[in-house]
Every structure is written in structure tokens, then in C-alpha cells.
Structure 1
Amino acid sequence: MQNRMRWVIQFVVVALIAVAAAGGWIWLGQAGNGDDADGAGGRGPGGALPVEVARAERRQVQDTVQAVGTMLARESVEIVTEVAGRIVEAPVREGQQVEAGEPLFILDQVREQADLREARAQRDDARNRYRRSVALYEERDVPEAEVDERRAALESAEARVEVAESRLRDRTITAPFDGIVGLREVSPGAYVEPGTLLTTLDDLSVVRLDFSVPERFLSGLVPGLDVQARSLGYGDEVFAGEVARLSSRIDPITRSLRVQAEFDNEEGRLRAGMFMTARLVLAEREALMVPEESVLKEGTGSYVFVIVDDQARRIEVTTGRREGGYVEVTGDLADADDVVIAGLQTVRDGADVRVLNEGEEGDHGDMAAR
């Protein structure tokens, strides 16, 4: 009984395999007949390949350099004291705009003021003695040597006054230029030593972007070139400036040139130390452009297919700048030539083609949307 059941199962399996094989053979035969009836597997009348095209056109392009840099203040300084003493007053606030010469910190001045009063008194006494000696000399009552001695004493006293005045000025720390006061590092009442950092001062009315450009762009770098800069802190907002100065040396390690661009900053939105990405426009020119999808790569070269008398012609090209979905090309290609942008998988040099989007060749946007 078991042998009979095994035989039945084997017979059923063999029958199913035979039926499946026959069905596959019939399906392949029908498919082959269908292909023969259509002509060339999706080709149009006469075997022409369906393609879509776009028109090569001349456009204005910009030769640019991308770089990253750091924003600097036009003028920046750390305010330190040159003398030791106790701070008695800090008349300005942090973040305040100050003018050149405005007091920032005042140290105790009691001793220096006393020294100045003493020096002035000695100067006045020396001046009076000198004047009396001059009068007596004119009456021949004193020798000329005494007049010379009194003159030297007066000059010495005047020098001591200047020294005392200088020491007194050192007790008042003033702004060296117009700018914004930074964070204060010390408080009134603190005793400071020479060289102690008190605060910072930055002139941010104009800011400088410091960045480097590769040596190969040296020939196009001149002051006055437009610079567009962006910061993560302001999203896609673009700040416009221009190249102000170039370094006189190429860095021997990085082979790059240091460049500084200046930006107006009347609103104070840009700060020293900001990280910026810069786009430097070296030149603007006209170039022949084609859609990026029309350019095919082969090894180290590139080529496009151009439609000539309803046939595809392969043309070798050299690519350049890319901008807005278009790429610059040079080669045996002319303005207004139609280049294939869709159907490239089946197109060969010399193949007959049928343009599907005739009359819309120049509208790259519509073609990309299809």
C-alpha cells in the first residue's frame, strides 16, 4: 500500500513539472511574437528611439572660491594696567560704546597728586629764582654763571613736573579708540599689578573676515572683489562685503594666501570671533551651459548626444562650473543645439530618434518635472 501511494505522488509531481514547462514554452513564444509585431521593443515608427531634449544655451556664470574664516574687529585691544594700584572707579558699563580718550578705570591717585603739587611748587620756585637772577645779571650784580645755574634748575624742575603728570595720567586708563567695552575682569576696590587684564575694547563699526585662498587663484585676487558671507547664527542670510587687503606672502605649508574682507556693521550684528563661510566672486563671464543630466561620463572624459536630422550624434565635451542644475561645457557644441536629457539608456551614436517634447526644448524645468 505504501509503495502504491509513493508511486502516485511521484506521478503527480512529474505531471505538474511537465505542465509548468509547457506553459512557460507557450508564454515565451507569445512574448516573442509580440516583440516582433511591435518592431523594436518600445521603439517608435521605423525603429526610432524616443528621447527628450533640452537646448544648450549661453549663460552668465561666476568663477568663485569657497572658503571659511573668522570674523575680526577692525580694531581690537586688551585693556591692561601699566602700574600697580587699587581701582577706585569704573565709570563705564560693559557693552557700552565709548569714544577715544574716555576713562575706563581710575586707580587711587592720592600719592601721585601730592607728588605733582610738590613738583609744581618746586618748578614755580625755580622759575622765580631764575627770573631774579636774570634781572640782577642785567644790572651786573650777579655773574652769568649764576644765571645759567638758575636756568638749569628751572629746566630740571619742569621735567619733574612732566614726570609727575605722567604718573598721574597712568592712574587713569582710557580708551585708545572708539569702540565697545567688553566684559569687565575686575571690580572697583581690587588691587591690580602691572599687566593685569581689565577688559577688552573692540571697534565693530566695520568688521574684517580673515580667510585663506589657494595659491592657484592668485591671478584673480585683487582688492575690491565682492565677498558673500554666511553664519550659522543667521541661517541663510547673506552679508555682502569686499576684499580689502591681501597678504604679501604665500604660506609655504598650506600654499594659500591670507585674505581680509571688510563688512559694514553699523547695526552691530556681526561679532569678532564668528565662524563664517565665504564665497568670493573672482570673475563673471559667459559660458555655454547644458542640463547636468545630459552629460555622460566615460573613463576620464565626458560626452553628450546632440540631435542632428533626427539622429543622435555623440560629441565629446569638457565640463566646467556647475550652477542651478546646469553645467558648463566646451567642445564641438554650439548655442541652441538640442542635447538628449531622457532616453539616454538606449541611445547610441548615429541612432534614429524621435523627440517627444518637440517645441519645449528650452524649458528645462518642465522636462525635469515629467
Structure 2
Amino acid sequence: MHFLVRLPAPFRALRLSPTACLLVASGALLAACHAKPDEAKGGGGGKGDKKNNGPALVDVLVARPSSVSDSIEANGTVVANDFVELHPEVSGRITSLNVQEGQRVAKGTIIARVNDADLRAQLQKTNAVLRVAQLSVNRLEKLLKVQGVNQADYDLAVSQVQSGQADASYTQALIAKTVVRAPFTGVLGLRQVSTGAYVTPATIIATLQADNKLKVDFTLPETYGRLVQAGKVVTVNFGGNPPRRYAATVQALESQVNQTTRNLTVRALLPAGAQVSPGTFARVQVPTGAARQRVILPTNAIMPGDKSDQVVLVKHGKAQMQNVKTGDRQNDQIAIVSGLAAGDSVVTNGVLFTQPGKPVKVRGVK
């Protein structure tokens, strides 16, 4: 293998021996192999080539206290004022079904009928026996007046009439149980059975709920039980687009604290016309006291910590970490209870690019 090495001009001007030329060529080859990439390219690689990192660009918000009401947030569920699962009271085959799904029905509306042919036949038989017993009583009554029959025979006939009347009433009650009626005015749910199906008292025909009054049930830790009393107003928030918010009035509290969760169940009444459905998830805000002065920040300005939350302040053109105590949170905003003063410049965008004591460049101020 042969290497062709071109010597620099100063060396070409010299007349060297073959051995000297070989030594010079070997040295040049080794120097080229061990050269740094930047040096091999002729870049120099000095301090002037290091990237110059400038100050971090940030947006700041000038702290301005505003009047806010502290509150605690609880999870709740919307419930109907009245709700019932419609079951038949007797077993049998459905002969008539009137479930208009999603439609409002009045109290007493017939929802379903169960086959009652055998009961009606039994009633006819009882009435026939009762008529004969009543005729016997009428005859014995006339004879008793003229002492044509003793009192015991007459009393026995009367008891037979009363027994027959009781049997007829019992059969009529069983017939009434074969008819399923709406116990109150409300909206029917989805139909669970069809005409001709054999049902038992455990079978659900449909559901019925009164939507004229809606309530929300929520739980609070027992330590906050003093904050809710009958008549107190709480704020109920629902998700969606757009989000909905209603003022609800506390109706009542559970008489005892749950021994497992140590929570207290509270029920509040939503205003008429609230556009929500029973079963909807709700977030309930319970005010804790009078309005106070708080600084409101976007949540992205807060850096959670193990001991306390922190924000980044801009002072004299440099970043400075500040411990804060946070309070009530609403959507993407959070109240600062302590740690900030009016006029402080709080970094809201670019928090992750700041370093304590390092210069920052303010891009925008709110």
C-alpha cells in the first residue's frame, strides 16, 4: 500500500533524504489523525465558539389583590325529588303495557296490566255465594221477628254473609295489584319488558322520576359540618360547553356522620328550570366566611413543592423564588392566601426557563 503525502511549501523547498521524508510524512499523518474535529475543519474551537445563552423570556402579572370568598369544594350528584322503580305486585303475564319512554305521565296513569282472569273468575264465584247467603239472612230475619227460628241460626247466616264480603274484598285487592299505576307525576325511563312477558314482583317494568324539583347530594368532612345549615346557599358547578353554575339552597343534613368515611351528607335544592339530569356529577362550593383580599394567579404560575408551593418573582431584572400559600382553586385560577404583596411581578409564562438569581427579560406585563 502506498501513501501520497503532499508536504507544505516550506518542506518542499528543502532537499531531504528519503528517510527524513518518511519521518516527516509519518508525523503529519499522526497529527491529522489525532486532531479534534473543530481543528480538523480549521474552526479554532476557542472560547469564542461557545453558545451565548441570553436571559429567559417571561411574561409577568402584577399582583393586585381582589375581593374573593374562600370556599371548600365537594363532589356531589344530582338526584330527582322523587324516584321509583315500577314493579308489579303480583306474578303473571303482562296483557297491557303503556310505557311512553321519556314522556311525562300524570299521577294515577296506568302503566301496565298483569293477567287477572283467574282472579276475576274467583270474584264472580265469591259474589254468587254471597248473594245466596244474603237471601238466607233476609228469610231468617223475617222468621226471627215471629220467633220462627232461633237466634243462633240467624247469627250463623249473618257470619256467612260477612265472610263472603271479606273474600270478595280480598279478591278485589288482588285484582287491583295486577294494575301498575304511576304513583306521582313524572317522566318515564326506558321500558325493560314487553307485552306478553311473564313478570314477578322483582321485575322492573320502567323507572319514573319527578323532574320538577332537582336536588344535589354532596359530602363534607365532619369538621366542616358547621359551615352548612338549612337555608344556606351553596354554588353548584357543572361541566360541559358552556359550563353551568347554579345557586342551590341547603335543605337538610344527614342526622349522623358516616362512621366509615367520617363524612357528612348534605342535600341542597336546585332552582326551578336547572338544565341538568338526575345522576349528573356536580362540584359544590361551600363558602367558609366573609370575602377577603386575595391575589388571583393562573395555575401555571404555581410550582408545587414538598413543603410549600412557590412562584417566580422578577426583582431587579432577575428571577427570585418565593414561597406562597394557596387557597381556593377555580378552573385555571388559584387564590394566593399569603406570600405575595401588591405590586409584585409574578412570572406566568416561561416559569420553567428561569433560574434563581439569573437574569430574565420581560416580554409582556398584565
- TM-score in terms of structure 2 length: 0.66
**Alpha carbons of structure 1 residues 57 and 101: separation in structure 2 relative to 1, 3 Å:** same
2: CA distance, partners of 1:305 / 1:199: 58
Conserved in 2, the CA contact under 8 Å of 1:304 and 1:340? no
What residue number does 1:64 align with?
Answer: 72
Conserved in 1, the CA contact under 8 Å of 2:68 and 2:294? no
2: CA distance, partners of 1:181 / 1:295: 48
What residue number does 1:108 align with?
Answer: 115
What residue number does 1:127 align with?
Answer: 134
**Alpha carbons of structure 1 residues 329 and 198: separation in structure 2 relative to 1, 3 Å:** closer
**Alpha carbons of structure 1 residues 158 and 10: separation in structure 2 relative to 1, 3 Å:** closer
Conserved in 2, the CA contact under 8 Å of 1:288 and 1:330? no
Among 274, 277, 286, the residue aligned to 2:282: 277
1:305-316 alignment runs, 5 A limit = none
Secondary structure class of the residue paired with 2:74: strand
Conserved in 2, the CA contact under 8 Å of 1:289 and 1:326? no
Q: Is 1:85–2:92 an aligned residue pair?
A: yes
Residue type at the aligned position of 2:365: M
Among 279, 282, 286, the residue aligned to 2:291: 286
**Alpha carbons of structure 1 residues 149 and 256: separation in structure 2 relative to 1, 3 Å:** same
What residue number does 1:152 align with?
Answer: 159
2: CA distance, partners of 1:302 / 1:237: 29
Residue type at the aligned position of 2:97: A
Q: Is 1:205–2:212 an aligned residue pair?
A: yes
**Alpha carbons of structure 1 residues 322 and 194: separation in structure 2 relative to 1, 3 Å:** closer
Question: Larger helix proportion, structure 1 or 2?
Answer: 1
Q: Is 1:118–2:116 an aligned residue pair?
A: no
Count of aligned pairs between the two proteins = 320
Cα RMSD over matched residues? 4.8
How far off its partner does 1:276 sit?
A: 0.9
What percentage of residue pairs aligned between the two structures are identical? 22
2: CA distance, partners of 1:297 / 1:194: 56
Residue type at the aligned position of 1:173: V
1: CA distance, partners of 2:312 / 2:194: 76
Conserved in 2, the CA contact under 8 Å of 1:227 and 1:243? no
Among 156, 159, 168, the residue aligned to 1:161: 168
Among 211, 220, 235, the residue aligned to 1:227: 235
1: CA distance, partners of 2:209 / 2:157: 49
- TM-score in terms of structure 1 length: 0.65
2: CA distance, partners of 1:138 / 1:226: 77
Structure 2 gaps of 5+ residues are 1-20, 49-54, 314-321, 348-353
**Alpha carbons of structure 1 residues 199 and 58: separation in structure 2 relative to 1, 3 Å:** closer
How far off its partner does 1:75 sit?
A: 2.4
2: CA distance, partners of 1:175 / 1:275: 24
Conserved in 2, the CA contact under 8 Å of 1:59 and 1:287? yes
